[in-house]
């Protein structure tokens, strides 16, 4: 099974500053057939279901503010939240979908 490890487990960022969350997979999630990284990022606020932010490692989901960006390839990925807003306080999860089980990282809590 592919193990997804996020760092840090939590971070506190001031309003308007940048938050950086890392996600590392135990093996590559880059497909040689289509050159896509099978990696998504989700945001979850208390009492709510997760919300898709980023897919294919760097493609922003429709309606997601452009202050959210994803980068990386292979085994190392980053979610960056620029110009942090109060509504960005949440837990963020990475997940691979390169085969099954499609495991999630343990989550990173972002506090303001």
Considering only 67, 74, 102, 112, the residue that binds other proteins (CB under 8 A) is 102
Q: Is 46 in the site for other proteins (CB under 8 A)?
A: no
Angle CA(78)–CA(79)–CA(80) in degrees, nearest 5?
A: 115
Residue nearer to other proteins on the CB measure, 83 or 99: 99
Tokens 């343990």 sit at which residue?
106
What secondary structure letter does DSSP report for 105?
Answer: P
* Smallest separation, CB 2 to other proteins (Å): 11
> Which tokens belong to 63?
């309606």
What secondary structure letter does DSSP report for 54?
Answer: E
* Smallest separation, CB 4 to other proteins (Å): 10
3-state SS, residue 3:
coil
Q: Is 70 in the site for other proteins (CB under 8 A)?
A: no
Q: Is 33 in the site for other proteins (CB under 8 A)?
A: no
Considering only 55, 58, 77, 84, the residue that binds other proteins (CB under 8 A) is 55
Residue nearer to other proteins on the CB measure, 18 or 97: 97
| CA pair distance 100, 49, nearest whole angstrom | 22
Count CA atoms within 13 Å of residue 63 on its CB side.
2
Residues that bind other proteins (CB under 8 A): 1, 38, 40, 42, 44, 49-52, 55-56, 61, 91, 93, 95, 97-107
């Amino acid at each position: 099974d592919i193990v997804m490890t996020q760092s840090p487990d939590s971070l506190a960022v001031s309003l308007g500053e940048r938050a950086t969350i890392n996600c590392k997979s135990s093996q590559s999630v880059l497909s040689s057939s289509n050159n896509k990284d099978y990696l998504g990022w989700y945001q979850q606020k208390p009492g709510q279901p997760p919300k898709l932010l980023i897919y294919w490692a760097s493609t922003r989901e429709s309606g997601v503010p452009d202050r959210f960006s994803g980068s990386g390839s292979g085994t190392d990925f980053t979610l960056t939240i620029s110009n942090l807003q109060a509504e960005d306080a949440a837990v963020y999860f990475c997940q691979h979908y390169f085969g099954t089980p499609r495991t999630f990282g343990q989550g990173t809590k972002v506090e303001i």
